[in-house]
Amino acid sequence: MCDCYLHKCKFCEEKLPVHLGNFETDRSEIEVFCEKHIPDHNVVIFTVVKVFNEIDGLSEEDKVYVGWKMGIRPLTENAKCWLLQRYNHPNLASDYETTFILS
């Protein structure tokens, strides 16, 4: 089982789809950032590279597009571990690349 929910960006009202694998990470152990607010350090950035069920360039299911980004910052070693093992990530029906900028 997984914790799939919408997490509000740390700096604005945008809600972003998050998947926390196997309930191993508590929601309070991460910060989430929309594309406009992704910091330049201690963050994992997810960038959509392929959209499924596309209608006019947008994913019909998730309303994301190729190039859409979000960031997740681990606040604990536990959250960092599960991000590195790729259990914690966006809850999307699209392919994405992952960039690790962890200090």
pLDDT in tens, 18-40: 999 989 999 999 999 999 999 99
The Cα-based distances of 33 to 7, 52, 55, 60 in angstroms read 9, 23, 25, 22
Longest dimension (CA), the chain: 40
Distance of CA 84 to the CA centre of its chain: 13
> What residues have CB less than 8 Å from 89, skipping those under 6 apart?
18, 19, 46, 72, 83, 96, 98
**Residue 5, H or E segment:** strand 3-8
How far apart are the C-alpha atoms of 24 and 22, rounded to whole Å?
5
DSSP 29: G
Angle, CA 34 vertex, CA 71 and CA 86 arms, to 5°? 25
Could you read off the pLDDT of 35-77 as tens digits, one per residue? 999 999 999 999 999 987 766 666 666 788 899 999 999 999 9
**In the chain, domain spans:** 3-101
pLDDT higher than threshold 70 for residue 85: yes
pLDDT given for residue 8 in this prediction: 98
Give all strands of the β-sheet with 88-90 in edge-to-edge order. 3-8, 15-20, 88-90
